Structure 1
Amino acid sequence: MRKNKELWLAILSMLLIGGVYFLVTVWYQEVPASSGFFGHLLGVLGFILMLMTELLYSLRKRSRTARWGRMSDWLEFHIYTGLVGPFMVLLHSSWKFQGLAGAVMLMTVVIVLSGFVGRYIYTAVPRTDGAEVQAAVLEQMMAEVDAEVKRMEGMQETGKLEAKEVNERVEGLKKEQERLRQQVGSLTSARRMLAIWHTVHIPLGMALFTAAFIHIGAAIYYATLLH
């Protein structure tokens, strides 16, 4: 549970919000209208969470000077808001998916699913304390392990270490070499996949928020200016 705490927290939050939604539905004996107070509250809070999902993690990721929090913590927050926000927007819709509102909801579902794909790819990139390990660092570590293997073999030849002890250490070092080699391969593949994923996920996000702002503008217009 601790490993995916952001997912469990998101599920718990959605259950609590869903419980309140159910109680409101039972109390009024009808599905809360998107134009009502509770429906508006769900829509506003959900949209704010979605904006936070889109902006805060990206700002932290692109910041070269700020060090407010680890990237891994910001990713967890990104995942949490990226699940709870769309869920609240779904409840705000009153289960009506016609017109622009329906298109916004469809794009929201697609981008959430895309986010799960991105999270899977992200976890394939070797990391240390939330920061991406660079290929040069891995190659340097491999070179250091290789040098240590040669040093151990040299100590065996000079009689400073027994053959059994050298073989055990060399075997361990070669396993470490193989692990690092696999990490280099994973890093290359994951970066390529992330680049492809970004070309889909980012335009989807831009289209979603463009449609959402149009929907909000239209809702405000019809709710205020026409009365």
Structure 2
Amino acid sequence: MSPKFHKFYIWSFVFITVAIAIILAVRGWAFYNVNIADRFHHADYDKLKPSGLLAHGYGIIGTLLILTGIFTYMARKRLRVFSRVGVLKYWLEFHIFLCSLGPILVLYHTSFKFGGIVSVSFWSMVAVVLSGVLGRYIYLQIPRTIEGRALSLNEVNNLKDEFKLKLTQDYGVEEALFDLPDNKSREAVNRLKAELKAKKLSGQEIRTALSHFKSEKSLGRRIKRLERMQNLFRYWHVAHLPFALIMIIIMVIHVVITIIFGYRWVF
């Protein structure tokens, strides 16, 4: 997947999630703005109450999206039989998409009325989503292969050295440029650009060299925080996974109790 298509892939997910959230908000705005005690008399009560035709559907679809997002990503990550099915980081993006859209649908399923054991599941879900956003940020700070495997410190150092060697041997870049501090990175890029133009290199060669140089500088910054981010990622799992487990357990209990009490959707 090319970088441009990857951006399109991510922004498509963002657009779909935001669009659905807005559509649901506009559709039920008049109902959700009514005091909970007075909703019984609203024209949309039979549709938008938690057991109503629409809201019940929101809950079912949202739950299926969450479970699909969780278990497909876990299967791709942990089961050898799926280890070659797609790139792991794209599965992560899909996991984040489903586990962001699902909670939005579940939120509208509750019609913003929380109570009892369901509130524990809901706030666990909120904690999972928020910790997922944090985890996504930490994940991006750790250099990875194109397949999504985290690189070790030695691998990152070797990759950085490869960029540096290529720039010095193929483009004759001065060693001094690599030693400039991060707060002078713009100055370093400008100096490199002027140096490459003076050598009468083609536009494509200049762009390639600049890309390598920026990658080398970026890896240098990431090396400084790699160990810290890897530790944070381990601690993040300690918070993210238990909340997800609590959410799933109470979600299952809620569904079972709902079925026992005879609530049905369109079936």
Query: Which of the five TM-score ranges fits, normalised by the shorter chain?
Result: 0.7 to 0.9
Q: More displaced, 99-108 or 177-186?
A: 177-186
Cα deviation for residue 223 of structure 1 reads 1.8
Q: How far apart in 1 are the matches of 2:31 and 2:78?
A: 42
Residues 99-122 of structure 1: per-residue CA shift (max 9 Å, x gap): 112222121112111111111111
Using structure 2 for the length normalisation, give the TM-score: 0.67
Residues 18-167 of structure 1: matches in 2 within 5 Å? 18-22=25-29, 28-30=43-45, 32-66=48-82, 67-129=84-146, 131-135=148-152, 136-144=154-162
Cα deviation for residue 18 of structure 1 reads 3.3
Q: More displaced, 181-190 or 38-47?
A: 181-190
What residue in structure 2 maps to residue 170 of structure 1? 175
Cα deviation for residue 80 of structure 1 reads 1.2
Q: How far apart in 1 are the matches of 2:218 and 2:132?
A: 28
Q: How far apart in 2 are the matches of 1:29 and 1:146?
A: 65
Cα deviation for residue 180 of structure 1 reads 3.4
Residue 209 in structure 1 maps to residue 248 in structure 2: yes
Aligned residue type for 1:170: E
Aligned residue type for 2:101: V
Q: CA RMSD in A?
A: 3.1
- C-alpha spacing 1:117/1:145, structure 2 compared with 1 (3 Å): closer
Aligned residue type for 2:90: D
Report if the CA contact (8 A) 2:76-2:88 is conserved: yes
What residue in structure 2 maps to residue 13 of structure 1? 20
Q: How far apart in 2 are the matches of 1:130 and 1:16?
A: 35
Question: 2:48 aligns to what SS in structure 1?
Answer: coil
Report if the CA contact (8 A) 1:138-1:180 is conserved: yes
Q: How high is the sequence identity, in percent, across the aligned residues?
A: 25
- C-alpha spacing 1:20/1:129, structure 2 compared with 1 (3 Å): farther
- Which consecutive unaligned segments of at least 5 residues does structure 2 have? 1-6, 35-41, 181-212
What residue in structure 2 maps to residue 156 of structure 1? none
What residue in structure 1 maps to residue 191 of structure 2? none
Using structure 1 for the length normalisation, give the TM-score: 0.77
Q: How far apart in 2 are the matches of 1:77 and 1:141?
A: 28
Aligned residue type for 2:235: I
Q: How far apart in 1 are the matches of 2:69 and 2:244?
A: 10
Q: How far apart in 2 are the matches of 1:65 and 1:182?
A: 36
Report if the CA contact (8 A) 1:45-1:88 is conserved: yes
